[in-house]
Amino acid sequence: MKLEEKRISSERKYNGLVIKVRVDDAQLADGRMTKREVIEHTGGVVIAMEDEDGSFFFVEQYRYAQQKIMLEFPAGKIEPGSTILENAQREIMEETGYEGEDFTFLGEFVPTGGYGQEVDYLYYAKKGKYVGQHLDADENLNVYKYTLDEIIDKIMDNELTDGKTAVLAFKLRERKQRNETAD
């Protein structure tokens, strides 16, 4: 059975700083018409940076949309005009104050495929030299370090509920068990 759908027309509903929203008239594979709401987003990078003691850097910050403080791997949206890797290198330094070294791409994560275009690119890196934090003007966060076992426990105990962080943690654990990381 064919599954592809074809965009026939689009109407822009909102242009924001982080997202854009459009409503499409779409044709289903069988020819019927429907409406599709789409959130456009430039995508993001998520970085699991490991310290020499085997622990990973984490950030704790208030997530306004969730109305709570959340614990996450360092991450950020992709800025146009630079590569995905350059965005990962910039974000890890901005949020932790450390340069990352030996970046390894671990795959992609689609947080909300039903209505969003966002794709998050997952990276593993080693801790490099300290150069100082450079947070965005509207960004406040605390930096912590946890072992991979502690991270998995926090996910399993629902202390850590961020999807991109959970996917990267489990992917990282599996790759380490298979000896597939750059360490």
Query: How is residue 71 written in tokens?
Result: 């614990």
* pTM of the entire predicted model: 0.93
Residues 61-120 pLDDT 10s: 999 999 999 999 999 999 999 999 999 999 999 999 999 999 999 999 999 999 999 999
Question: Is 141 in a helix, a strand, or coil?
Answer: coil
d(CA 77, CA 42) in angstroms, rounded, equals 7
d(CA 103, CA 16) in angstroms, rounded, equals 31
User: What percentage of the chain reaches a pLDDT higher than 90?
Assistant: 92
Query: How is residue 76 written in tokens?
Result: 């950020």
Residues 36-56 pLDDT 10s: 999 999 999 999 999 999 999
Rounded CA Rg of the chain: 18
Nearest to 39 by CA among 17, 23, 55: 23
